[in-house]
Structures are given as C-alpha cells and as structure tokens.
Amino acid sequence: QFNNLYFADQNSGWMTSSGRIYHSTNGGINWNVQGGINSSDLNALFFINNLTGWAGGYNGAILKTTNGGILVGLSNISTSIPKSYSLHQNYPNPFNPVTKIRFEIPSLNHHLQAGDREVVLLKIYDLLGREITTLVNEQLIPGIYEVDWDGSGFASGVYFYSLITENFVETKRMVLLK
C-alpha cells in the first residue's frame, strides 16, 4: 500500500509503502529501500531539502534524517512488556558516528491498561554535564525501545546519556571516537 510521496527536487524523492521508506535519486525511475525501518504505521513524509526530512506514523513515531537517508528515530522493538525500567549500554561503544541506545519502560503501577503512557526523556550530555541534545521527549506506552544517536556533528570524547521518567533516572557513559 502506497501511503505518501515527497520530492525535495526533481531527482530526490521519498515514499512510504508496505511499512517501509523508499528513496529515489533519479526522479522516481528507481527506488531503494531505506535500511532499518519497517513500520506499517508510517503515513507521512516531509523534507526541507535533499538532506533533512521527517517521517511520521500513527503510533506517534517520528523519524528524522539529516543526511538524506540514514533515518534517526525511536523504534518500539518488542511487543513484550518489561517488568522494570532499564537503560542498556549503547552499542557499539566506542562508536563513530552512530550508536544505538536501548531502554525499557514497564507498565504504570504494574497494571497494563490500554493507552497507558508515561513521559520519557532521553538526553545526551557532554563531559562537563551540559545537555547537548534530547533524543526522546514523548509519552510512551510500555515496551522496549531503541533510538540511534548520530554524533557526527560533535567532537570525539566522552558523553553521557540519561533516561528520565517520573519514577526512574539512570545515566550511562559512551565514547565517540573519530
């Protein structure tokens, strides 16, 4: 099923179909599937130029690219409901320039109810503790999530990432090597 089509210029275009995002660099003659994305909920695309764009979905997911193809976004990677909060070590670590961060959000009050959502923040800090970006600032249903962080615009060094909810805070260390 074809959901959405968007061309930033006469050659570069993107479309959603069958739960995937496709990209064309030759005016739609050929289409290549974008790696790592498979969500039947994707239904909207918008690009401001050949490099920067967003894809959105019914489930509240928003995916972003700043290089015209590698999408950075939040994915719910499992249908199982975790019993407790967890922030996993990023991988790879050290990394250059993209790393994955996985975290788990349990059901509120340990009673899963339809529509239960919790405000979840995932923030990145530099070695001095200054917040440099927020990867997640959303109301999420219980689940296991994964998000990519592209550190290509940042210097090599030690960074920290924190998962913050009303009932849980955890911080871990990661290393960007260029």
- Give the per-residue pLDDT at 60: 66
Sheet of 131-140, strands arranged across: 131-140, 118-125, 157-164, 169-176
- Give the per-residue pLDDT at 39: 55
Q: Is the model's pTM score more than 0.85?
A: no
- Give the per-residue pLDDT at 165: 93
- Give the per-residue pLDDT at 67: 63
- Give the per-residue pLDDT at 73: 65
- Give the per-residue pLDDT at 114: 47
Strands (E), the chain: 2-7, 13-17, 20-24, 32-33, 42-47, 53-57, 62-65, 72-78, 86-87, 98-105, 118-125, 131-140, 143-150, 157-164, 169-176
Low-confidence ranges of the chain (pLDDT < 70): 1, 18-19, 32-41, 58-61, 66-73, 79, 108-116
The two three-digit tokens of residue 110, written as one number? 């340990």
- Give the per-residue pLDDT at 164: 96
The two three-digit tokens of residue 50, written as one number? 């050949």
Distance CA 63, CA 42 (A): 9
Residue closest to 73 by CA, chosen among 171, 145, 165:
145
Helices within the chain (DSSP H only): none
Hey, what CATH topology would domain 77-176 get?
A: Immunoglobulin-like (2.60.40)
